[in-house]
Chain A
Amino acid sequence: MTALAKIASSRLFWPVVMLLVLFAINLVAFPGFFTITVRDGQLFGSLIDILRNGAPTLIIAVGMTLVIATRGIDLSVGAVAAIAGAVACSIILGSPEPGNLATVAVAVAVALVISLVLGVWNGFLVAVLGIQPIIATLILMTAGRGVAMLITEGQILTVNSPPFKFLGSGFWLGVPVAVIIAAVVFGLAALITRRTALGMFIESVGINPEASRQAGVRARGLLFAVYTFCALCAAIAGLILTANTAAADANNTGLFIELDAILAVVIGGTSLAGGRYSLLGTLVGALVIQTLVTTVYTVGIPPIATMVFKAAVVTVVCLLQSPTTAEAFSGFRRRLAVRAGKGLAAS
């Protein structure tokens, strides 16, 4: 197999090609696309914007990747993000000193702890009661938004707290804080699952939970762990989203983000059937989605049409990755080879 064929058969091939195509379109429509400038010691530029706006999706997608690797799915992440935002904002609003760092720290900590409880709930339904993940998490997806509205009492809570706002739109050493948080989450997940045997255990549970249990892998505990981790990721993303707008909107925080996260995972080449995952693929997938959104803005298509383009990209990537297409390609290559051979024989 030549080097080129090896690259082409990689799972990351089509997503990366898609990303490069999007970059090229951007470069044509907007020549300054790759320029990154430093203003007041902070980095600015389209690429930085893509990273910053894509951070919440990427964080959730990292958690979703591990859940999908166990053959599960988590539909409740958007609702969990909304609950985390609502909890943090209502605590900050309820305190006498909303600008105090300690207040914000408590608010963030409480929001994260609540997300842990929600994650354990999802894990309980899936691991102990054995309910199908899509339905188990559908319950929290439906009820969760109601809970978030209960916390905010149906209002949009606007907070004025500089330390909280820093989470969403601040810069640290010139880099957006959201990007740093995303990098830390991604790095930790990669380190823990790829430098230890944990990733392999997760994959083994995804392939066959019963067989893994009999082989000594604690499938139940692992399922609890991945759903809790996913909820934690969702809460972090929810805090970033809420901090960015400095307002908790129970109805719209993280709306459709579960779908974007699942798309990022699928575009990255992780199969929904579980058993095999690629965090790097998820990173590329999240970048593809965010670059697509940015492209739609820069090219001047009304932003509303983004969803049509998302549908198109998903369809194209799925069709290109499908076994049927791979078979057709290899059949085509074989025929070419046969024809070339015949041509040689004739001459």
Chain B
Amino acid sequence: MTELLDAPGRTSPGADRAPARRAPRTPRGPAGSGPAPSGNPLARAARAAGALLTSPKYGPVTVTAILFVAVFVVGGIRYRGFFSGQVFLNLFVDNAYLIVLAVGMTFVILTGGIDLSVGAVVALSGMIAASLLQTGWSPAAVIPLILVLTSVLGLLVGLMIHVFKVQPFIATLAAMFLARGLCYVISQSSISITDPTFVQLAVSRIPLGGGMSITPSVIIALVVVAIAVWVLHATRFGRTVYAIGGGETSGLLMGLPVARTKVLVYVISGFCSGLAGVLFTFYTLSGYPLTAIGTELDAIAAVVIGGTLLTGGYGFVLGSVLGVLVLGVIQTIITFEGTLSSWWTKIFIGALLLVFIILQKVLTARRR
């Protein structure tokens, strides 16, 4: 359907009426002010850009990418030292855990669900790691244990949603209360991590040349992203995820394994939350029951900013990564500004979310 709608914008440069009709619709094209002569490569490029921007599939991601670059350039003009590779890489270093969370959340939202438990699960896995390491467990046992536990929690949530028809919002809310409560049960105060392996992973830097470096967490996050891209775009499971978001009943009628996929999506989100929790402990080297409050909303915001529709069916993992980077670059600008207080961050993120949702609304409405 989308392909069909996209076609005239991209493949009919010779049609006389097409550019005249399309021109007012092109919001940003340099030649969008009047009917361009056909065959002009500039006009064709403008038309292609317009089609890209207004397509419900690629439009929101493209807008996010443009906005990210714009914000980064504005930051570079305003602040000295902003335009460095390390500032860019730090977006990944500081937000590695959020990238992993957003990947899991993308799977869930693509099926039209939502997962409110991820922030609490991040805190919980940090608490489990800190408390077990304190009693002398080996990291080689702790990390797999956390990943298994959080996946099982995801499995239970998925089963609750699928078998008992509990709404995702409520099922994951219950999981959130459970995880947050268990954090407090483990300990009410912060537990620091002194395990040499964790400390080593926290402080070690991988040099990239030119004085730039990243942390091992970044590599783990990027591997997760790569796997997610492959799963969503190259496997049968991935296509089923998109199909469920497009219409669960149609998926069922097509004979797709809807039940299995719907439950698995929550297992993936649980696994990602556990992994994100581990990455977060590499970053903070402690477990604290109050950490990551509201992170689930950051993850949802990143996914939405990245162009995934909350009703499911449309969206990309790479868009969510871009969403995380946008949130990160706003944080960085607020840090560089120095005088802005933390509450402005919240107001900024709220305002930005609004802009993106309205943009999505306008762009997707135009095509229907």
Residues of A within 8 A of B (CB): 73, 125, 129-132, 134-136, 138-147, 149-150, 154, 250, 259, 262-263, 266, 272-273, 302, 304-312, 314-315, 318-319, 322-325
Determine whether B149 belongs to the interface, using a CB cutoff of 8 Å to chain A. no
**30 sampled A-B residue pairs with Cβ under 8 A:** A129-B358, A134-B169, A134-B310, A135-B310, A139-B350, A142-B301, A143-B346, A143-B349, A146-B344, A146-B345, A146-B346, A146-B350, A149-B341, A154-B343, A250-B343, A263-B173, A302-B185, A304-B181, A304-B184, A305-B184, A305-B185, A307-B177, A307-B178, A311-B174, A314-B170, A314-B177, A318-B160, A318-B171, A318-B174, A322-B164
Task: Specify which chain A residues have a CB less than 8 angstroms from the CB of B341 in the assembled complex.
Answer: 149, 154
Quick one: which of B331-362 are within 8 Å of A by CB?
341-347, 349-351, 353-354, 357-358, 361
CB distance from B194 to the nearest CB of A (A): 25
What B residues does A147 contact at CB under 8 A? 343, 347
Known: A322-B164, A325-B164. A272 touches B347 (CB 8 A): no
Residue-wise interface mask of B (240-262) relative to A, using a CB-CB cutoff of 8 A (1 in contact, 0 not) = 00000000000000000000000
Q: CB < 8 Å: which of A146, A263, A308, A311 contacts B347? A: A146
Q: Which residues of A contact B272 (CB under 8 A)?
A: none
Contact of B177 among A139, A141, A308, A322 (CB under 8 A): A308
Q: Is B80 an interface residue (CB 8 A)?
A: no
Contact, CB under 8 Å: A319 / B164: yes
The 3 closest A-B pairs by CB, nearest first: A143-B350, A307-B181, A146-B346
Known contacts A146-B345, A304-B188: does B354 contact A315 (CB below 8 Å)?
no
Q: 6 additional contacts, CB 8 Å, given A136-B357, A319-B160?
A: A129-B361, A259-B176, A259-B177, A304-B185, A307-B181, A311-B178
In the complex, chain A residues whose CB is within 8 Å of the CB of B164: 318-319, 322, 324-325
Whether, in the assembled complex, B201 has its beta carbon less than 8 Å from a beta carbon of chain A, the answer is no
Which B positions have Cβ atoms within 8 angstroms of A?
A: 114, 160, 163-167, 169-171, 173-178, 180-182, 184-185, 188, 294, 297, 300-301, 304, 310-311, 341-347, 349-351, 353-354, 357-358, 361
Q: CB < 8 Å: which of B169, B178, B184, B351 contacts A143?
A: B351
Determine whether the beta carbon of B297 is less than 8 Å from that of A141: yes
Contact of A135 with B357 in the complex, beta carbons under 8 Å = yes
Q: Which chain B residues border A149 with CB–CB below 8 Å? A: 341-343, 346
- CB contact under 8 A between A150 and B349, given known A304-B184, A318-B174: no
Residue of A nearest to B114 (CB): A134
Q: Report chain B residues within 8 Å CB of A131.
A: 357-358, 361
Known: A135-B357, A324-B163. A266 touches B170 (CB 8 A): yes
CB of A318 within 8 A of CB of B166, answer: yes
Closest to A315 in B: B174
* Chain A min CB distance to B125 (Å): 16
Q: Looking at the assembled complex, report how far the CB atom of A331 sits from the nearest CB atom of chain B, in whole angstroms.
A: 15
Smallest beta-carbon distance B332→chain A, Å:
18
Q: A130 vs B163: C-alpha distance in the bound complex, in angstroms?
A: 31
On whether the beta carbons of B166 and A130 are closer than 8 Å, the reply is no
Asked if residues B310 and A146 are in contact (CB atoms below 8 Å), the reply is no
Whether A139 touches B354, Cβ cut-off 8 Å, given contacts A146-B344, A322-B166, is yes
Q: How many angstroms from the CA of A138 to the CA of B184 in the assembled complex?
A: 26
Query: Which of A125, A272, A315 is B160 in contact with, Cβ under 8 Å?
Result: A315
Bound together, the chains give a CA A311 to CA B153 distance in angstroms of 13
Query: Known interface pairs A307-B184, A311-B178, A324-B164. Does A73 touch B353 (Cβ–Cβ under 8 Å)?
Result: no
